[in-house]
Homo-oligomer: A and B are copies of this chain.
Amino acid sequence: MTLTKNTFIGEYFYSLDAKGRINIPAKFRQALSKDNKNTFVLTRGMDSCIWIYPLKQWKEIESNLRKLSSLSNLHRTFVRNTARYATPSTYDKQGRISLPPSLIEYAKLNKDVQIIGMINKMEVWNPKQLIITDNEAINIDTSAYDDLAEKITL
């Protein structure tokens, strides 16, 4: 059963093969709308993980970047750092995408990988790195949650 189109939830455990490929959860593939053309855009996440956007979602980011002028040092730096690490990748007949070596290194991936649905994108983690990040999250200022509570109705 697929929920909303282009929306990803849940966590999955797969293995990275010798050719640097990982499986995309079948449920995520089913959730993709046709106009994504079986293609994702991979890039560095803000934590030690890889972010995977459906093509359509990435195009929105692109069109925002396109508006920024290269005359501004700030804009130039932002476009460079955002565009630089992004790579498109289409999944094969078996539902796998191949990860570029630079991203495998960035996310410190070994054989075991964990994929997490993040609503509008997915994250690929080394399970061990995720545990570390989880532990660090304990130190988050919980009072900041109250600010968030005003924006989001749980």
Name A residues whose Cβ lies closer than 8 Å to a Cβ of B.
1-4, 7-11, 27, 37, 39, 41, 46-47, 51, 55, 58-62, 64-66, 68, 70-71, 73-90, 116-121, 123, 137, 140-141, 144-145, 148-149, 151-154
Contact present for B116 and A1 (CB under 8 Å):
no
Contact present for B154 and A80 (CB under 8 Å):
no
- Residues from chain B with a CB closer than 8 A to the CB of A85 are 10-11
Contact present for A79 and B119 (CB under 8 Å):
yes
Copies, count: 2
CB distance from A116 to the nearest CB of B (A): 5
The distance in angstroms between the C-alpha atoms of A117 and B123, with both chains bound, is 23
Q: Residue A10 contacts which of B3, B84, B121 (CB distance < 8 angstroms)?
A: B84
Contact present for B9 and A83 (CB under 8 Å):
yes
Q: Residue A64 contacts which of B51, B58, B123, B151 (CB distance < 8 angstroms)?
A: B151
The verdict on A148 contacting B74 (CB below 8 Å), with A3-B41, A80-B123, A117-B83 known, is yes
Contact present for A39 and B1 (CB under 8 Å):
yes
- A68 — nearest CB in chain B belongs to which residue? B148
- Residues from chain B with a CB closer than 8 A to the CB of A41 are 3, 9
CB distance from A37 to the nearest CB of B (A): 7
CB distance from A87 to the nearest CB of B (A): 5
